[in-house]
Amino acid sequence: MNFRFLGRSGLKVSEISFGNWLTHGSQVEEDAAIACVKAALDTGITTFDTADVYAGTKAEAVLGRALKGQRRESYELFTKVYWPTGPGQNDRGLSRKHIIESIHGSLRRLQTDYVDLYQAHRFDAETPLEETMLAFADIVRQGKALYIGVSEWTAEQIAAGAKLARELRVPFISNQPQYSMLWRVIESKVIPTSDAEGLGQIVWSPMAKGVLSGKYLPGKPPPADTRAATPGSQFMTSFMTDDVLTRVQQLKPLAQEAGLSMAQLSIAWVLQNKSVSSAIIGASKPEQVLDNVKATGVKLDAELLRRIDTILGPVVERDPAQTSSPNRRP
């Protein structure tokens, strides 16, 4: 496993991190989830990402049990706050009340005294940013989080948050956006702003929700055991057109030439971007982890990258206005 600094901080993270958005506590049994975490640890992954909202807080609890017994200093643990975790009006957003209550709940479920990174899961337009950033700063000073970050914030929101973080002297070091060969909306604005402010990118869905694995074929229904065939898969709609799926199939010879699986090619592709500190993978089976981690340290040559751009160009989403869409998680 290769490691990179997270932004301009001194924190090192594994190039490939393990996330449990769609699996732990919902889609797979706990024994399988724990087996995936063990596989991640065995392959050298040290960075684990979750959120209080995943599986209605169950994902954090599963991850906490899976990591129990591991030396706490040997891994980096990230979680997030924003989405509703209860029925009350204050069980959501980035108010001081919700942030403080949420960190306590997350630490309890994760069975730890602190998280390495605490992230604002979205921007909260209904709460003053000063209130949000002060609450995060207090959590850092209390030792309950070591660093803070955000997820799916626009360039303007990141710049405003970074300004307050400097004034509060709190380590604001990361952004967690969606990023893949098919979804490149962060390249024109978010990445330059993040680079200027010292934030690294921890990217989710490097395989475009599994589409870049090549398992979905144009003109055919998704296989029964895949994500696109399960309830709640409407978030994949934009990637499931025949044009996109046809072009993805054209990547298979390129992956073969590079000696990579389609999954490895897609993960290696995002890691070619020097602004990316880590790519988050998810898995329901340990063998998926074992395959994905082989993307670490892979260097793709310029001609291969050019050919990928030629094949996918017309179907790539690049509009920066797509950042922070309220209908997308994690």
Active site residues: 54
Which tokens go with 308?
A: 């990928």
How far is 134 from 234, CA to CA, in rounded Å? 36
Strands (E) located in 129-199 = 145-150, 172-175
How far is 162 from 137, CA to CA, in rounded Å? 12
Contact 95, 131 (CB under 8 A): yes
Backbone angles phi, psi at 146, to 5 degrees: -90, -30
How far is 247 from 43, CA to CA, in rounded Å? 32
Backbone conformation region of residue 280, classed left if phi is above 0, alpha if psi is from -120 to 50, else beta: beta
Maximum C-alpha span of the chain: 55
Q: Which of 196, 104, 200, 187 is nearest to 147 (CA)?
A: 200
Residue 253 burial (10 A CB sphere; 0-12, 13-18, 19+): exposed
Contact 11, 44 (CB under 8 A): no
Q: Which of 167, 157, 143, 168 is nearest to 199 (CA)?
A: 157
Residue 299 burial (10 A CB sphere; 0-12, 13-18, 19+): exposed
Which tokens go with 252?
A: 């298979």
How far is 163 from 160, CA to CA, in rounded Å? 5
